[in-house]
Amino acid sequence: MVSTILLVDDSATILMSMESILGKAGFKIEKASSGEEALNRLDQGLAPNLFITDVHMPGMNGIDLVRKLRARAGFQFTPILVVTTEGQQAKRDEARAARATGWLVKPVQPDDMLRVVRQILPNG
């Protein structure tokens, strides 16, 4: 079965480029331009196998999204990768405390991204 990845980023460019990179590798891609939209998609029944979220977004930030996801039934253990330009250790610690699965600092090379995603979703 094809794994679904929900990409959350306020940048349309990032969403589209990530969709292409991961889509070419055979994953099914869903997109949301904010944390709120991501949660709405879940309310509508979407159940991704992996979340990839940005940190700095208008409204709900990526770390808050991680907290909200962890508080939801069914998503306590779903992997969440935080992909961000933020390099601050304190923020990274915050994400770790919120129980994010990983932290990738932009720009991430497509090969590195695919390697990490395949590590999390080995069955594609």
Partner 1 sequence: MAPESRNRRRNGQDRVLSILAAFAFLIMAMAAFANDEPAAAGVAMLAALFAVILWHRASQTPEMPEEVQELLCFVADELAQYRAFTRLLRDQGGRINDASGEAALVIVEGLREIDRAVETLRIELRKTSEELPLDAIHRAELAQRVEAIGRPILRMLGCLQFQDVTQQQIAFLSRLSLMVDDHMVRLARKCGDRRAVERLDKFKEMFAAALDDTVMTNQRDDFYAATGLALQEEGGPRIEMF
Instruction: At 10, list the tokens.
Output: 């306020």
Residue 94 near partner 1 by CB under 8 A: no
Binding of residue 107 to partner 1 (CB under 8 A): yes
Percentage helix, strand, coil for the chain under 3-state DSSP, each rounded to 5: 40, 20, 40
- Spell out, one character per residue from 33 to 72, where the chain touches partner 1: x when CB under 8 A holds, - when not: ---------------------x-x----------------
CA distance 20 to 111: 13
Does 106 bind partner 1 (CB under 8 A)? Our answer is yes
Our finding on whether 88 is near partner 1 (CB under 8 A) is: no
Q: Decide: residue 62, CB within 10 A, 0-12 exposed, 13-18 middle, 19+ buried.
A: buried
Contact between 108 and partner 1 by CB under 8 A: the answer reads: yes
Q: Which of 2, 12, 47, 97 binds partner 1 (CB under 8 A)?
A: 12
